[in-house]
Structures are given as structure tokens and as C-alpha cells.
Amino acid sequence: MERAISGHGNEHWFPTLLHARTEIERWRREYNQHRPKKAIGAMTPAAYAQQLANSDIINPGL
């Protein structure tokens, strides 16, 4: 049995390592691709990263 602990003291037990990896990947995708964050202009982290990658701030002269 595997256990994951967040920075807030919450624990979640997974029956197998494969189950833990699957659930953590599902959470990561949801968090980064579908949940907008107020701190970055109500964009998702994935959209914000794409905007930075396409900007002159990161790629001057491109």
C-alpha cells in the first residue's frame, strides 16, 4: 500500500503504486490544464506557460 502526503498534512492511501501514479497524473492534468488560477489572470497554468513561451519576454527577437 502506498501513501501520499500533501504539504497540508493530508494523507491519501493508494492500494498500489500504479493506482497512485494514475491518480496523481489525473490530478496533475486537472490542476494544470482545467483549473484557472486568479494569480495568473484566471488562466490555467498550461495556458499561462504557453503564453510565456510565445512571448517576447522569453523569446526576444523570435
pLDDT score recorded for residue 57:
74
Residue 52 lies in domain:
32-56
Give which of 59, 34, 57 is closest to 45, Cα–Cα.
34
Task: Please give the span between the terminal C-alpha atoms of the chain, in angstroms, as a whole number.
Answer: 50
Q: Is residue 49 part of a domain?
A: yes
Query: pLDDT for 2-61, tens place per residue?
Result: 455 555 556 778 899 999 999 999 999 999 999 999 999 999 999 999 999 888 776 666
pLDDT score recorded for residue 4:
56
Tell me which residue has cell 503504486. 17
Q: Is residue 61 part of a domain?
A: no
Q: Is residue 41 part of a domain?
A: yes
- Rounded CA-CA distance 20/34 in Å is 20
- The cell for 33 is 490544464
Q: Is residue 15 part of a domain?
A: no
pLDDT score recorded for residue 1:
47
Q: Is residue 11 part of a domain?
A: no
| Count of the separate structural domains present in the chain | 1
Q: Is residue 47 part of a domain?
A: yes
